[in-house]
């Protein structure tokens, strides 16, 4: 024991004498994440993703023109799958940014970069039906969410923007109408990012929560001013800490096609958070949907639903008030213990977080939690933490890509740092695919053996997962800031067979309201 202690002290002394290497944005940290990544087990799924964009006719390109070094330009955009025409095949809506914020209104109106709706042709290809559908919004788009707010059986569409948000009602004939004003969700300008539908008061009508990021205003002085990020100086206009947080919105569905904004009275305005994403989920198992909000450089927030139209902020007592740069958010029962866990992607040099819900653990040992929520960050223990240090994580989703019954994780990455050789461009990064090997071992990063697309470096932002070709395995669409989107087709058999047939099975269920 004495020798071991001395060896540790000596090793520490040597390390302290070595000056730290200067961190240069855009450079890999000496292969740090590759060193920290666990070896891929020999029984990994033989599933390959391929870029089917060209063959499928999905020719989406994000942004038109040259960046003007403003924060909103670098944040977008997202995408969402939804069967808008009810034919049983997923269609795709992709959000765009018309171009730099210095564009005139006339330039924005004529920009080739607009939101796009792709109709699924049921043969692996898509048709651009944006003009016919009337959903080709031009602006500084951020995100989108499908939801049937009027209970007519047809998914409607909400789009977030830097500016004013838009609500499109589905007419049922392949077209949509902008009902933002009549529905009561227009007129609120801000920097709006994520949006999520959920029936928080259980009245049978979908309500809508909208994330606000920062109170951004164009100021040439902020572009000239520099702020410190690691060893680099970046324009203050690109640092979210330069700006005060934007409030969040909760639109209560009034059941008559209109909404009332009630975030303040409900207790979910989140005034101190720079929010990028949120998710509804019954985290405490009481039958009422709670709300988790991922905030960038500000405490994340967990709001427990009291069941009376209001929420209680239990972020600190639940141990999820993380101050790191939260970017992407996914919720799911990764360890199959019948409670909802939380996964969060972060900014560079910050580990991912995997908040394990302790509800079932308390119940398993007969302990009483008193109804309180408790989470523990187990990302490092289960292979999701340090492997992310090299990356700026964005869109993420739990998805069982190999159909083994366990939710895996897909992560899209892309830097917010400008390239040193060309500051008009951002630094590219590769995406990550984590295979869930079960609750004892956790996750293994298998992107390197899952197709060339995971070796491709892009400025990734949005992620939408869905089985667009109805073959039983989840596919994905990745939005690339300033670049071409990627439709990633899952070409898996898993390689696991019984009697020559794929061992893993899938089931598709279509629900129809009564």
Query: Three-state SS string across 364-394, please?
Result: HCCCCCCCCCCEEECCCCCCCCHHHCCCCEE
394 within 8 A of 369, measured Cβ to Cβ: no
Contacts of 363 (CB under 8 A, 6+ apart): none
Is residue 225 domain-resident? yes
Average pLDDT over residues 423-448: 97
What is the SS3 assignment for 359? helix
Amino acid 123: pLDDT: 98
* CA gap 300, 316 in Å, rounded: 9
- Residue 370's pLDDT band, with cuts at 50, 70 and 90, is low
**Residue 514 is assigned to a structural domain of this protein:** no
Give the per-residue pLDDT at 2.
32
Coil vs helix vs strand at 80? strand
Residue 367's pLDDT band (boundaries 50, 70, 90)?
A: low
Residue 344 neighbours by CB under 8 Å, 6+ apart: 294, 300, 322, 326, 327, 328, 329, 330, 352, 353, 355, 396
Contact predicate 120/466, CB 8 Å: no
At 503, the pLDDT band (50, 70, 90 cuts) reads low
Q: Which helix (H) or strand (E) holds 73?
A: helix 71-75
Instruction: Answer yes or no: is 416 within a domain.
Output: no
106 found inside a domain: yes
Higher per-residue confidence, 431 vs 11: 431
pLDDT category of residue 122 using cuts at 50, 70 and 90: very high
pLDDT band at 37 (very low <50, low <70, confident <90, very high): confident
Report the C-alpha gap between 268 and 264 in whole angstroms.
6
Q: What is the pLDDT confidence band of residue 502, given thresholds at 50, 70 and 90?
A: low
Separation CA 360–CA 82 (nearest Å): 33
* 34 in a structural domain: no
C-alpha distances in Å from residue 373, one per residue of 253, 273, 343, 369, 376? 27, 21, 16, 8, 10
Residues 6+ apart with CB under 8 A from 131: none
Residue 340: helix, strand or coil by DSSP?
Answer: coil
Radius of gyration of the chain (CA): 23
Does the pLDDT value for residue 270 go beyond 70? Answer: yes
The answer to whether the bond into 499 is cis (omega within 30° of 0) is: no
Instruction: Specify the pTM.
Output: 0.91
What pairs with residue 423 in β-bridges?
Answer: none
Q: What is the CATH number of the domain that holds 153?
A: 2.130.10
* Inside any domain, residue 231: yes
CA 210/CA 461 separation, integer angstroms = 18
Domain, as residue range, for 221: 75-405
Q: Is residue 260 part of a domain?
A: yes
What's the pLDDT score for residue 366? 60
Query: Could you read off the pLDDT of 183-242 as tens digits, one per residue?
Result: 999 989 999 999 999 999 999 999 999 999 999 998 889 998 988 776 678 899 999 999
CA–CA separation, 152 and 354 (whole Å): 37
- Provide the H-helix boundaries in 249-377: 263-266, 359-364
With respect to residue 298, please indicate whether it lies within any of the assigned structural domains.
Answer: yes
How many domains does the structure of the chain reveal?
Answer: 1
pLDDT at 36: 64
State residue 365's pLDDT score.
60
Contacts of 153 by beta carbon, 8 Å cutoff, 6+ apart: 86, 512, 513
pLDDT-derived band at 505, boundaries 50, 70, 90: confident
């Amino acid at each position: 024991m004495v020798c071991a202690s001395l060896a540790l002290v000596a090793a520490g002394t040597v390390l302290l004498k070595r000056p730290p290497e200067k961190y240069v944005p855009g450079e890999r940290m000496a292969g740090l994440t590759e060193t920290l990544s666990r070896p891929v087990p020999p029984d990994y799924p033989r599933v390959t993703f391929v870029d089917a964009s060209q063959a499928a006719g999905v020719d989406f390109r994000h942004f038109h023109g040259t960046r003007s070094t403003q924060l909103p330009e670098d944040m977008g955009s997202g995408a969402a799958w939804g069967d808008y025409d009810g034919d049983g095949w997923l269609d795709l809506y992709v959000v765009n940014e018309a171009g730099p914020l210095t564009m005139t209104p006339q330039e924005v109106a004529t920009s080739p970069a607009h939101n796009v709706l792709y109709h699924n042709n049921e043969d692996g290809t898509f048709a651009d039906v944006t003009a016919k559908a009337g959903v080709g919004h031009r602006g500084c788009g951020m995100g989108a969410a499908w939801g049937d707010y009027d209970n007519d059986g047809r998914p409607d569409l909400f789009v977030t923007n830097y500016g004013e948000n838009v609500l499109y009602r589905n007419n049922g004939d392949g077209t949509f109408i902008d009902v933002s004003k009549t529905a009561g969700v227009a007129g609120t300008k801000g920097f709006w990012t994520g949006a999520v539908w959920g029936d928080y008061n259980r009245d049978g009508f979908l309500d809508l929560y909208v994330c606000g990021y920062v109170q951004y205003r164009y100021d040439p002085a902020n572009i000239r001013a520099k702020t410190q990020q690691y060893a680099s100086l970046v324009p203050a206009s690109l640092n979210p800490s330069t700006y005060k947080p934007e409030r969040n919105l909760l639109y209560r569905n009034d059941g008559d096609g209109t909404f009332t904004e009630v975030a303040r009275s409900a207790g979910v305005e989140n005034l101190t958070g720079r929010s990028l994403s949120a998710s509804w989920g019954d985290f405490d198992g009481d039958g009422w949907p709670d709300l988790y909000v991922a905030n960038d450089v500000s405490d994340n927030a967990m709001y427990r639903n009291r069941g009376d139209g209001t929420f209680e902020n239990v972020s600190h007592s639940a141990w999820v008030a993380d101050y790191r740069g939260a970017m992407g958010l996914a919720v799911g029962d990764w360890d199959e213990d019948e409670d909802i866990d939380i996964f969060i992607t972060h900014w560079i040099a910050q580990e991912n977080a995997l908040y394990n819900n302790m509800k079932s653990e308390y119940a398993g040992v007969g302990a009483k939690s008193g109804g309180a929520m408790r989470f523990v960050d187990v990302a490092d223990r289960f292979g999701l933490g340090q492997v992310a240090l090299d990356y700026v994580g964005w869109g993420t989703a739990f998805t069982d890509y190999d159909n083994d019954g366990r939710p895996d994780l897909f992560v899209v990455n892309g830097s917010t740092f400008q390239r040193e050789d060309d500051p008009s461009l951002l630094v590219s990064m590769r995406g990550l695919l984590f295979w869930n090997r079960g609750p004892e071992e956790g996750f293994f990063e298998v992107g390197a053996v899952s197709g060339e697309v995971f070796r491709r470096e892009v400025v990734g932002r949005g992620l939408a997962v869905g089985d667009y070709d109805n073959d039983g395995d989840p596919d994905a669409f990745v939005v690339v800031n300033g670049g071409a989107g990627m439709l990633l087709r899952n070409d898996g058999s898993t390689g696991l067979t019984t009697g020559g047939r794929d061992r893993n099975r899938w089931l598709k269920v279509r629900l129809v309201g009564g």
